[in-house]
């Protein structure tokens, strides 16, 4: 069955204190990391339907629920 | 006017809101289960605080699709008063009934404390019993209260006096030190274009009686009642 791999990330310019905290923690561990932005990753197991149809559906799911267009961007791939 | 208080799975401030309207304001009020979609009898609807749907995915993201929300949108379009408190505000943002979004508090801490907010606009059905510039002592309790909007939206909200409350210090000064959570422009509450939908992060239902330490929150409920008695164009 096809699997949509969706990544939701904060838009540029949106403050990410969680990312900052992770960066600070990595720095405390001795790693030189300039910036960290945290996002969400979702895997959707989808029915066996033609890809272009699935792409349309996944895009709608992202627009309606999975991402908040005010603060987030999304991208996805569908495999296989 | 009959007040309705929506109850979603995970709402936890519904009873406080109900109690304030019933026992302090002494007005008719009913709890409205989120599966209901008939809001005809109500003049005002409160979306209370809590963790509706566990705040899963994003605060208010799933609540926004709760069965009652279609009715809430129609109710707002018909001019009914909608007061979104805390999680209620977050849901109104996800619904698009108010512009912008909420981010995690800048400190990443859940902040539960009394703050001071300044009334920026008393020409709304929610603040007509307040004086412009007056300060209210009122508690906040949230993890995601950093109001965010893109520059164009922020400009529009500020220009059209849609900012109703801002976090300030005891003397009413709005500044960085008085900002508890990183909200843009210290915004604590905004109203929609028409003026009938208000979202605020602080909890007026937790400070509506002197016994609770502050009765400043009661002004918001009294304002809604005053508006119902003598509606004026916002």
Query: What is the mean pLDDT of the segment spanning B183-212?
Result: 97
Strands B29-33 and B44-47: unpaired
Token match 């895997």: residue?
A43
User: Would you place residue B233 in the very low, low, confident or very high pLDDT band (cuts 50, 70, 90)?
Assistant: low
Of A15, A65, A66, the CB nearest to B103: A15
pLDDT of residue B36: 85
Query: What is the mean pLDDT of the segment spanning B120-126?
Result: 97
Q: pTM score, two decimals?
A: 0.95
Q: Per the CB < 8 Å rule, is B100 touching A18?
A: no
Catalytic annotation, residues of B: 86, 203, 205
Of A21, A65, A68, the CB nearest to B101: A68
Interface predicted TM-score (ipTM)? 0.89
Residue A64 has pLDDT above 80, yes or no: yes
CA B62 to chain centre: 19
Residue B234 has pLDDT above 70, yes or no: no
Q: Mind giving me the DSSP string for chain B? A: --EEEEE-TTB-SHHHHHHIIIIIS---EEEEETT----TT-SEEEE--B-GGGG-SSTTTTGGGSTHHHHHHHHHHTT-EEEEETHHHHHHHHHTSSSSEEE--TT-S-EEEEEEEEE----STTTTTS-TT-EEEEEEEES--EEE--HHHHHHHHHTT-EEEEEE-TTS--SGGG-SS--GGGEEEEE-SSS-EEEESS-GGGSSBGGGTB-TTHHHHHHHHHHHHS----
User: Would you place residue B87 in the very low, low, confident or very high pLDDT band (cuts 50, 70, 90)?
Assistant: very high
Quick check: A68 contacting B, CB < 8 Å? yes
Q: What is the per-residue burial (b if ≥16 Cβ within 10 Å, else e) of B98-108?
A: bbbbbbbbbee
Residue B231 has pLDDT above 90, yes or no: no
Q: Per the CB < 8 Å rule, is B101 touching A66?
A: no
């Amino acid at each position: 069955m096809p699997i949509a791999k969706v990544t939701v990330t904060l838009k540029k310019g949106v403050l990410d204190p969680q990312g900052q905290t992770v960066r600070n923690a990595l720095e405390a561990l001795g790693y030189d990391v300039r910036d960290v932005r945290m996002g969400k990753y979702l895997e959707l197991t989808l029915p066996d339907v033609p890809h272009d149809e699935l792409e349309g559906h996944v895009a709608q799911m992202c627009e309606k629920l999975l991402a908040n267009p005010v603060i987030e961007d999304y991208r996805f791939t569908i495999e296989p | 006017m009959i007040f309705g208080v929506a109850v979603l799975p995970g709402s936890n401030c519904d009873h406080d809101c109900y109690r304030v309207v019933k026992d302090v304001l002494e007005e008719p009020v009913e709890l409205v289960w989120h599966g209901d979609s008939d809001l005809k009898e109500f003049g005002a609807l409160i979306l209370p605080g809590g963790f509706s749907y566990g705040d899963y995915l994003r605060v208010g993201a799933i609540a926004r699709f709760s069965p009652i929300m279609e009715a809430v949108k129609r109710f707002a379009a018909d001019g009914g008063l909608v007061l979104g408190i805390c999680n209620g505000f977050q849901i109104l943002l996800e619904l698009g009934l108010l512009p912008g979004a909420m981010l995690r508090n800048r400190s990443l801490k859940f902040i539960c404390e009394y703050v001071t907010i300044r009334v920026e606009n008393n020409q709304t059905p929610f603040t007509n019993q307040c004086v412009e510039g007056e300060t209210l002592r009122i508690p906040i309790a949230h993890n995601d209260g950093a109001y965010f909007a893109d520059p164009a939206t922020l400009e529009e909200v500020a220009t059209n006096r849609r900012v109703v409350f801002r976090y300030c210090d005891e003397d009413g000064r709005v500044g960085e030190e008085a900002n508890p959570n990183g909200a843009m422009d210290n915004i604590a509450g905004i109203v929609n274009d028409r003026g009938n939908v208000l979202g605020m992060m602080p909890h007026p239902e937790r400070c509506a009686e002197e016994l609770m330490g502050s009765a400043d929150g009661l002004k918001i409920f009294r304002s809604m009642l005053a508006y119902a008695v003598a509606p004026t164009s916002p």
